[in-house]
Each structure stands twice: as structure tokens, then as C-alpha cells.
Amino acid sequence: MLEAPVLKPMLADKLMAVPTTPAFIYHADELRRTASRIRDVASISGSKLLYSVKANNLPGVLGTLRPFVDGFGVSSLSEARAVKEALGDSGTIHLYSVAIPLADADELANLCDYVTVNSLGQLRRWEPKFRGRAHVGLRVNPGRSFLDDRRYDPCRPHSKLGVPLDDLADSANEIFPLIEGLHVHSNCDSTDFQHLLDTVDVLESRLGPILDQIEWINLGGGYLFEDGMDFASLHEAVKILQQKFGLEVIIEPGATFVRESGYIIASVLDLFDSDGKTIAVLDTTVNHMPEVFEYQFKPDVVGDSETGRSEYILAGLSCLAGDVFGEYRFDEPLDIGSHIVFKNAGAYTVVKAHTFNGIPLPSLYELQAGGTFVEMPWTQDVTS
């Protein structure tokens, strides 16, 4: 993963001025800059661009991204409803669900322009419901793994995600009259688009005649779009699918849109010694950043330095013993009331945050030009 840019001092000062903590802040200008960069890459490749809502579904974020994308990728009825609020009558809604609940099917058929099912059983069950109302697709699993950590790997052994290529080939005569497109997602947080080109090579070699029978393919997400990356393999992958098979190609990044534009700001509530190390208890918790606990990584904090003279264990407010962010060093000592800024917190934080121990969810703010904070409700109408 490429190293994130250093936070500019002026921006750090603005973030420190947040009215209340704990707070989740999304920096609207930074979000637009990132979205513009991704939009440019997609346009050069000739692919349609979606934002995968699961990374951050705040209405203000969806509204900010709306001018930069061709549509939104959703995985549930609640996400589809939120996106419809943000889109109004513009753009498209693309649903992929591991399984579609019976109670949701009718409303999803009314809301979604594309519906991708996950299994052959789901295809047989739901294709009649969506026929003529949405473009129906099927997720395939290319069986090509690029990740060592199976928790992130869509192509892990016994994966629940997508139809294996052998099963697809064996049922081709039945399947392809029922679908218009395919969906494939085979990576997570990758900076190497050669992985995507390798995946397309697998699809071409195994499904070449089948690809001639469909109209579109969604290559999913799982890739970062950061400054300095080489996008040549992405462009080559899209070119193969467009020129050899005449397919409309869709890409659906998520976290890379929003990660660097989001921050969580906390205040120090207590400082004390524990077996020779200083604990700094914050008014936030790993339950506001659940992937810290789930995947055991150390989040980025503004001012953390290997050479810092003052060392602390930053701990969350809940009674969970493992509610700890990690050990950090700062040039200046912390005091009660000092603000801690977690950066690169725009993805998979507010969408997963919960209120264990009755600790409130963070306040939500948009940081606008000039350093103005606008408090945002957790839900709002962004169509106006």
C-alpha cells in the first residue's frame, strides 16, 4: 500500500478546532480531489465508474460524489434507498447481494437498474422477478487469489462469493439466456493492477465464447487509485474486454474514494501509569473504528513519530480490555483535553460504528473551505 500524504499543518490546525469530540469529519474538498483523480483514470480507460457505498454511506458523502460517478454500487435495500435519495433521477444503481431477502425483492426491482446475483440458485429464483425491470448479472469467482490473509480474500477456498468458473461453464446453456452481464471481484486494497489483468486473462481463457454472449462486465473494486500508481494494466484489461468482446466495462472502487478524506477526532480523558507505560484514555473507542479490533491494525495518528519524546498507549473508553489503538510517540506531551486526530479514517468506520457500553456515536461534521464545520445528521435528504 502506498504511503498516504503527510497532513498539512494548516489542515491539522483546522481539524483540532472541531466543536465536539468524539467526531467523524469528512473533508469535502479532499473528497472531491480524490474523486476527480479516480474519474480521470476511469475516463482514460473508457470504463463506467461506480462508487461502492459499503465503504461510507453518509448522505453528504454520496451527494459530494454524485457528480463524479456514473452510479453507485449497493448491497442491500437500505443502501439502495439511501442512494436513491442522493441520486434522484440521475445515474444508475447497481445491486450485488450475497443473497436477496424475499421481503426486499419487489422494492429492489423498483429501485435498481442492475441486479447481480451471487449463485445459480439465486439466479433461478430471482431472474423472473427482475426480468424487464433491471439488467440481470451473475457474480463469478475466477479462483485466482492474490491475498495472504483469507479474511479479505474473495477467492479463498470454499468462498461464498460468486459462482466458480467450472460450474458456470457446465451450466452455460441454461445460464446465459437469463443474464446480460457478469460481475467479478478478486482483490482487496491492492496497488497492483497487474492482478486485475491476470484476472481478465483467466476469464478470457476460460470463458471466451461466453463473454461473446453478454453485454457488460463489472470488474468490482479492491484496488486503490493513489497518486503515482501505474494504471497501464487497468487500461489493458479494459481494452481486452472492450475490443475483443464488445463489452461495457464497469469498475466499482469504494474505500479508495473516501479513506483519506475522513478523520476521527478524540479528546484525552485520563492519563495514568500502567506497568511503566502511560495510558491515554480517549473519549472514542475501537467500536467507532471496528476494523482496528477485527483485523488488529494500528490506525494512523497525526503527530505520531518514531523519534517522539512522549510515548503513550492510546486506549478507548469501553470496558473491553482490547479496546486499544496502539502505542504512539509525540514530540510534545499530552494533557487532559488534548485532541488526537486519527487520519485515513473515511472508509469502514462510520458504516460499522456501534454503541457498545452506551458510548455515543461520533458527531458528524463536514469540513468546508475556510475551516468551517457543518454538523451533519446521520441521515438527511441530499437531493435538493
Walk along the chain (384 residues) and give the pLDDT tens digit of each residue. Answer: 334 445 565 677 788 888 899 999 999 999 999 999 999 999 999 999 999 999 999 999 999 999 999 999 999 999 999 999 877 777 899 999 999 999 999 999 999 999 999 999 999 999 999 999 999 999 999 999 999 989 999 999 999 999 999 898 888 888 889 999 999 999 999 999 999 999 999 999 999 888 999 999 999 999 999 989 999 999 999 999 999 999 999 999 999 999 999 999 999 999 999 999 999 999 999 999 999 999 899 999 999 999 999 999 999 999 999 999 999 999 999 999 999 999 999 999 999 999 999 999 999 999 987 788 998 887 644 333
Residue 243 sits in the same domain as residue 341: no
Residue 62 sits in the same domain as residue 109: yes
Distance CA 94, CA 83 (A): 10
**Distances 65 to 20, 32, 249, 372 between C-alpha atoms, Å:** 26, 7, 20, 20
CA 114 centroid distance within chain: 19
pLDDT at 380: 45
The CATH number covering residue 178 comes to 3.20.20.10
Residue 216 sits in the same domain as residue 295: no
pLDDT at 275: 97
Residue 271 sits in the same domain as residue 360: yes
Distance CA 45, CA 331 (A): 45
CB 143 within 8 A of CB 164: yes
Amino acid present at 125: R
pLDDT at 369: 78
Distance CA 151, CA 271 (A): 35
Distance CA 265, CA 18 (A): 8
Distance CA 6, CA 343 (A): 10
Cell of 122: 439465486
pLDDT at 87: 77
Indicate whether 3 belongs to any domain.
no
The answer, as to whether pTM is greater than 0.85, is yes
Name 3's Cβ contacts closer than 8 Å, sequence gap at least 6. none
Domain boundary among 203, 229, 253: 253
Residue 239 sits in the same domain as residue 267: no
Indicate whether 38 belongs to any domain.
no
Tell which residue, 172, 347, 320, has the closest CA to residue 261: 347
Domain boundary among 253, 288, 305: 253
Residue 245 sits in the same domain as residue 274: no
pLDDT at 377: 80
The CATH number covering residue 13 comes to 2.40.37.10
Residue 165 sits in the same domain as residue 312: no
pLDDT at 56: 96
Indicate whether 195 belongs to any domain.
yes
Indicate whether 347 belongs to any domain.
yes
Indicate whether 381 belongs to any domain.
no
pLDDT at 11: 79
Domain boundary among 224, 253, 282: 253
Residue 76 sits in the same domain as residue 159: yes
CB 86 within 8 A of CB 72: yes
Number of domains, the chain: 2
pLDDT at 333: 97
CB 196 within 8 A of CB 222: no
Domain region containing 314: 9-25+262-376
pLDDT at 33: 96
CB 347 within 8 A of CB 255: yes
